[in-house]
Amino acid sequence: MSGHSKWATIKHKKGAADAKRGKLFAKLIKQVEVAARHGGGDPESNPTLRTMFQKARDNSVPLDTIERAVKRGTGELEGVNYEQIVYEGYGPAGVALMIETLSDNRNRTGSEIRSLLAKNGGSLAEPGAVSWQFVRKGILKVSKAAGENDVMMVGMDNGAEDLEDLDEVWQVTCEPTDVNGLRDALEAAGIKVEESDTIMLATNSVPVDDAGMAKQILNLVDVLDDHDDVQAIHSNIDLDDSIMAEVS
């Protein structure tokens, strides 16, 4: 298996250095709450909740905090009714952006996302203008303590479609519905999974070979990511290693 998901690589390399843990916790808790509201509070019968629950645990969110979020989602505790909204847009150099949000005020969130894009060299696009360039996939980040062949052997028997080297971890790609089963299989084989999630992978990439332009794009992503309602950002930007090293 071999593949190429540049945006996942870029986000992984930036993520650890950029993470604002308090804000990250808040976003993960919100995702758990929404998953429970839409599919019920039992992770065994609600695969989306199981994925979000595990994602929160992978990022060290305390168990009791997660459980309270589940109860808010199911109505056992009072909570806010969040709406899932995906905004499509363009950044500098025409790179495509998919911006996933959870909002309790659609008008406010839409206005603020539009403003952030406009002020940082981007623009909001009409629904459908960008989404056709992306496909939803499951990803698992696997410890490099496991050998590539071991990960491949387990992965190929349990729905894995792709294996990529992100330097610090292996990244395994699969269908979103296979995330939990593939994680179970890897862990049953003694292979440590550091994180699992579902993301939007670009089917076509836009190469950016100018460091200044790359910095503008990544700055826009940082600004958007800092917004409380934004849960995830996906892009089709393609930076080679030399540009990535320069902008990092």
Q: What is the DSSP string of 100-151?
A: EEEES-HHHHHHHHHHHHHHTT-EE--TTTTGGGEEEEEEEEEETTS-HHHH
Structural class in CATH, domain 83-131+206-247: alpha beta
Those residues whose C-beta lies under 8 Å from the C-beta of residue 90, and which sit 6 or more positions away, are: 96, 97, 122, 123, 125, 130
What is the per-residue pLDDT for 2?
35
23: tokens are 């804000």
The correct CATH number of 6-74 out of 3.30.70.2610, 2.60.40.10, 1.10.10.200, 1.10.760.10 is 1.10.10.200
Under CATH, which number does the domain 133-202 receive? Answer: 3.30.70.980
Neighbours of 50 (CB within 10 A): 19
The rounded distance, in Å, linking the Cα atoms of 53 and 36 is: 10
What is the per-residue pLDDT for 9?
63
What pTM, to 2 d.p., does this model score? 0.86
Regions of the chain short of the pLDDT cut 50: 1-4, 16-18
Domain spans, the chain: 6-74, 83-131+206-247, 133-202
Neighbours of 139 (CB within 10 A): 22
What is the per-residue pLDDT for 10?
64
Q: Would you say the CATH fold of 133-202 matches that of 83-131+206-247?
A: yes
36: tokens are 């429970």
What is the per-residue pLDDT for 248?
66
What is the per-residue pLDDT for 166?
84
- What SS3 class is residue 231? strand
Query: What is each CA distance from 189 to 50, 121, 152, 186, in whole angstroms?
Result: 20, 47, 12, 5
What is the per-residue pLDDT for 1?
35
The rounded distance, in Å, linking the Cα atoms of 182 and 160 is: 7
Residue 197: in which H helix or E strand, if any?
strand 193-202
